[in-house]
Structure 1
C-alpha cells in the first residue's frame, strides 16, 4: 500500500510555495518570467536530454506499454473531436477541446508523481512514453485546426522542432542511439543545470496558477477536466489491464501519467490558434487542483 500523502505532499508543498510567492507579490511578474524561462528553456531541456541520453531504452521500450497509453489517448481525442465538430461545426474549436481532454502534464507533474510512487527506475519508461506525446497531439491539433485557419505544414513543423521539450528529447534519443559519451565536464555541467528542473517546474506551475482565472469558460473547462482526470485514465487502465495484461506497476505508471492535469502547453497552442484560450486556461487550473484527488484515488485503488 502506497502512502499517498507522502507521495503527493512534497510536490504540493513546492507548488504551494510558488503560489504564495506570487499571491503575496514576493516575486513580481518580471521575476517569474525570468524563472520560467530558465526552467522551461534551460533546466528542463537539460534534465530531459541527460536522462534520455543515459536511459537504458532497450529495457524500457515495449510496444504493449506504448499501445496501452496511446490507443486510449488517440481514441479519446478523436471522440471528443467528432463530438464537438458535430455540435459546433468548427474544426479549430473541436481540435483545441480535444487537446484539452487528452494532453497530460507528463513532464512537470506526471514524471515526479510516478518517480515518487514507483521509484526512479521508471524514469526510462516515462521518457519513452512522452517522446511522442507533445509531437503527436500538437500535430493532430494543428492539422485539424488548419482546415479553417492558415496553418501551413512548414509552420507546424517549425513549431514542433523549436519546442524545447521535443527538441531535448529528440537530441537525447539521438545521443543514446549513437552511444555518444559527452566529456565528463560537460555532462557534469548539464547535470547541475538539470537538478532544479522538477522543483523549479512545480514552483513556477504554482505561481502561474495565481494568474490564471477559472471563471471564463467554466462549464466547458469542467467537462474537459472530467474527461482528462477520470475518463482518460479509466480507458488507459482498461486497455492496460484487459487489452494487454500489463503488470501492476506498468499499469499504475500509465494511469498516473494519463491522470496528470492538462499541460500548460495546450493553453499556449490555443493562444497561438486564437481559439478557446479562456476555456483551456480554466481547465489548466481546475485539472491541476483536482488532480490531487485523482492521484489519491488511483493510487489507493491500484496499490491495494
Structure 2
C-alpha cells in the first residue's frame, strides 16, 4: 500500500498531462511552451538548489559512477551486437538504438519518483547520474555512430560541439553552478535561496505533466518489434546487470545502490530521441521505445522498490 501511495502521484500527474493533450484542452504550442518552461527554468532551479546544499562525498562518487557506468556500457555494447545481427542495422542506427537501451529518463521520471519513494537523501546519487549521463553516453554514442566514416578532425569537432551543448544546457549548467557554490562554500542570499526553493517546488508536478503530454505525441506504429527489443534490454537486461554491479561486484552504500538500480529501471530517456534526430535515423523506433518503456517501466521499478534492500 505504501509503495502504491508513493507511485500513485507520479502516475496521476502524468495521466493528467496525457488526458489534457489528448483532449485538445491544450494545443501543441501550449504544452511545448510548458515543456520549455519546465526544462529551461523550473528543473534547473531544483538541480541548482539541491546540488548547492548537498553533502558531496570526498571522491565525488567516483566509485559509484564506475559501478553505474560499467553495466551501462556493457548493455550498450550488447545492443550494438544484437541490432547488427538481428536487425541488420547500420553502424549509425546501431549506436542510436544502443543509446535508447541505456539512456534512462532520470529527469522527468527519476527526480519525482526518487523524491517520492526514497526521499531527499537519494537525490545526490541521482544528480550525479544526471550530471554525467549526457557526457558519457553521448560521447560513446557519437564515437560509434561515426566509426564507419572515421575522421579524427570530424570526430573531434563532434565531441567539441557536444561539450559546448552540454555546458550551454540549462540542466547541466545548473548542476555545475550548484556544484561550484557547494565546493567553494559560496553563500546564497537568503531571500534568493527561498525564491529558488519556491520555484523548485513546481519542478516535479510540471515535469510529470509534461511527460504525459509528450506520450501523446508518439505513435508506436510499425516499430513494435525493434521497439520491444530495445525496451527489453532497457527494462530487463540493464537493471539486472546494474543490480549485480551495485550489490555484488562493487561495495556501494545501500541507498545509493538502490537509487542506481531504480534509475536503470526507468524508461528510455527522450534525449535518445534527440540523438536519433541528429543523425536522422531510428527516430520512429526510439519514439516507440520511449512510449512502450514508459508504460511498462512501472513493473521493474516496483520490483526494485520492493525487493532491493
Q: What TM-score results when the alignment is normalised by the length of structure 2?
A: 0.91
Moved more, 202-211 or 189-198: 189-198
| Cα deviation, residue 213, structure 1 | 0.6
Question: Does the aligned pair in 2 maintain the 1:61–1:125 contact within 8 Å?
Answer: no
Question: Could you tell me which residue of structure 1 aligns to residue 295 of structure 2?
Answer: 289
Distance 2:189 2:282 in 1: 46
Gaps of 5+ in 2: none
Question: Could you tell me which residue of structure 2 aligns to residue 27 of structure 1?
Answer: 26
Q: Does 1:232 align with 2:229?
A: no
Shift in CA distance, 159/142, structure 1 to aligned 2, threshold 3 Å: farther
Shift in CA distance, 23/241, structure 1 to aligned 2, threshold 3 Å: same
Alignment of 1:1-304 (within 5 A): 3-58=2-57, 61-85=60-84, 88=88, 90-148=90-148, 152-153=157-158, 154-303=160-309
Question: Does the aligned pair in 1 maintain the 2:97–2:230 contact within 8 Å?
Answer: yes
Distance 1:216 1:57 in 2: 46
Residue by residue over 1:64-102, the C-alpha shift from the partner in whole angstroms, topping out at 9 and shown as x without a partner, is: 322221110112112222443456362211111110010
**Backbone CA RMSD of aligned residues:** 2.0
Question: Does the aligned pair in 1 maintain the 2:44–2:174 contact within 8 Å?
Answer: yes
Distance 1:136 1:67 in 2: 11
Gaps of 5+ in 1: none
| Cα deviation, residue 62, structure 1 | 3.5
**Number of matched residues?**
302
| Cα deviation, residue 245, structure 1 | 4.1
Distance 1:13 1:129 in 2: 26
Residue by residue over 1:6-59, the C-alpha shift from the partner in whole angstroms, topping out at 9 and shown as x without a partner, is: 111110000000011011111111110110110011111111111111111127
Question: Does the aligned pair in 2 maintain the 1:57–1:125 contact within 8 Å?
Answer: no
Moved more, 255-264 or 51-60: 51-60
Moved more, 9-18 or 113-122: 113-122
